[in-house]
């Protein structure tokens, strides 16, 4: 069993426990009463002709399977406010509990505090989680190609759009990019971390980003340690970066986001 397989087993068990407490009918009622989703596609640059800088998806992340504990984050709303002040375009909130220490309560707290779009970062394997995401204020969800069939990828993307949300479709291989493109993904991430082994290969991004249509927003995921890493991703075609560890472990996340954005803008100027 791979690391990804093991995570999904736990995700399904925890989801079923929540389903026993909140029925799908109740979730749909909550969605019907919720404010409309914010436009994460526009926040991340929208049409290719309008993209002039590097966008940052800043993540609320307490721990990870590869690194263990990263930061206690007793007040995720306060950290999210710092991210927003620092110029993040989207805030990612990890809601997986067992490996990452997240929860839907974190998503609620952040939603009540910031005005920019939110990504519910989790391992989506059931439509119930998509309704959950919207009910708790998410504007964007993550779909991991390696964890889904083509039918699930299409169905979950369609449901997300129906609920007004955008989808970040995560890939790690050339074949997965082909599947994401076939599913008409508009926001495509290249995760340089192999979720089956947790190994990181930063060079992977440059080899795969060129396979993604220019119309898509291209997101570099994982492996951001410094401004040099950001420059590398931006020079290789990234329109946005998703970064968690480097921000949650920094005492001045506002300044770090500014540093990353400046490094990305400089690299994009050279690239263009």
User: Which pLDDT belongs to residue 48?
Assistant: 82
Residue 66 is a catalytic residue: no
Residue 121 is a catalytic residue: yes
Q: For residue 252, how many C-alpha atoms fall within 13 Å in the half-sphere facing its CB? A: 5
**Tens-digit pLDDT profile for residues 140-169:** 999 999 999 999 999 999 999 999 999 999
| pLDDT(125) > 80 | yes
Residue 67 is a catalytic residue: no
**Tens-digit pLDDT profile for residues 52-84:** 899 999 999 999 999 999 999 999 999 999 999
For 101-151, give the DSSP string.
Answer: ---HHHHHHHHTT--S-EEEES---SHHHHHHHHHTT-SEEEEEGGGS-HH
Helix/strand/coil percent split, the chain, to 5: 45, 15, 35
User: Which pLDDT belongs to residue 109?
Assistant: 98
C-alpha–C-alpha distance, residues 38 and 165, integer Å: 8
Exactly one of 96, 170, 176, 245 is catalytic; name it.
170
**Tens-digit pLDDT profile for residues 199-217:** 999 999 999 999 999 999 9
Residue 55 is a catalytic residue: no
Terminal CA-to-CA distance of the chain, rounded, Å? 43
CATH class of 3-271: alpha beta
Residue 176 is a catalytic residue: no
| pLDDT(101) > 90 | yes
Nearest to 61 by CA among 270, 267, 257, 243: 243
Exactly one of 222, 231, 236, 239 is catalytic; name it.
222
Q: Domain spans of the chain?
A: 3-271
User: Which pLDDT belongs to residue 52?
Assistant: 82
Under the banding of pLDDT at 50, 70 and 90, the label for residue 1 is: confident
Under the banding of pLDDT at 50, 70 and 90, the label for residue 271 is: confident
Q: What average pLDDT score do residues 219-244 get?
A: 97
Q: What average pLDDT score do residues 245-266 get?
A: 96
| pLDDT(130) > 80 | yes
Across all residues in the chain, what is the average pLDDT?
96
**Tens-digit pLDDT profile for residues 11-51:** 999 999 999 999 999 999 999 999 999 999 999 999 886 78
**Tens-digit pLDDT profile for residues 170-201:** 999 999 999 999 999 999 999 999 998 999 99
Q: Percent of the chain at pLDDT above 70?
A: 100
Q: Return all residues near 61 (Cβ < 8 A) that are at least 6 apart.
A: 70, 71, 73, 92, 94, 100, 102, 244, 245, 248
User: Which pLDDT belongs to residue 272?
Assistant: 77
Exactly one of 191, 194, 236, 239 is catalytic; name it.
191
Yes or no: say if 135 and 30 are a contact pair by the CB < 8 Å rule: yes
Q: What average pLDDT score do residues 239-258 get?
A: 96
């Amino acid at each position: 069993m791979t690391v990804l397989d093991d995570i999904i087993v736990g995700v399904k068990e925890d989801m079923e426990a929540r389903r026993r407490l909140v029925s799908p009918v109740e979730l749909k009622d909550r969605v019907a009463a919720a404010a409309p989703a914010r436009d994460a596609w526009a926040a991340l640059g929208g049409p290719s002709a309008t993209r002039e800088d590097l966008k940052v998806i800043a993540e609320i992340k307490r721990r990870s399977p590869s690194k263990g504990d990263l930061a206690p984050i007793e007040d995720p709303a306060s950290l999210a406010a710092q991210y927003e002040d620092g110029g993040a375009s989207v805030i990612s909130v990890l809601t997986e509990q067992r490996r990452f220490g997240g929860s839907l309560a974190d998503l609620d707290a952040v939603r009540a505090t910031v005005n920019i779009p939110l990504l519910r970062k989790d391992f989506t394997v059931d439509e119930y989680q998509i309704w959950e995401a919207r009910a708790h204020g998410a504007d964007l969800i993550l779909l991991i190609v390696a964890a889904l069939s083509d039918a699930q990828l299409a169905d979950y993307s369609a449901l997300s759009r129906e609920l007004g949300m955008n989808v970040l479709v995560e890939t790690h291989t050339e074949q997965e990019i082909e599947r994401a493109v076939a599913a008409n993904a508009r926001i495509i991430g290249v995760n340089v971390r192999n979720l089956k082994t947790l190994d990181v290969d930063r060079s992977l991004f440059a080899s795969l980003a060129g396979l993604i249509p220019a119309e898509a927003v291209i997101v570099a995921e994982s492996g951001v340690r410094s401004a040099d890493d950001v420059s590398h991703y931006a020079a290789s075609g990234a329109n946005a970066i998703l970064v968690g560890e480097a921000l949650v472990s920094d005492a001045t996340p506002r300044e770090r986001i500014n540093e990353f954005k400046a490094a990305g803008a400089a690299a994009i100027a050279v690239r263009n």
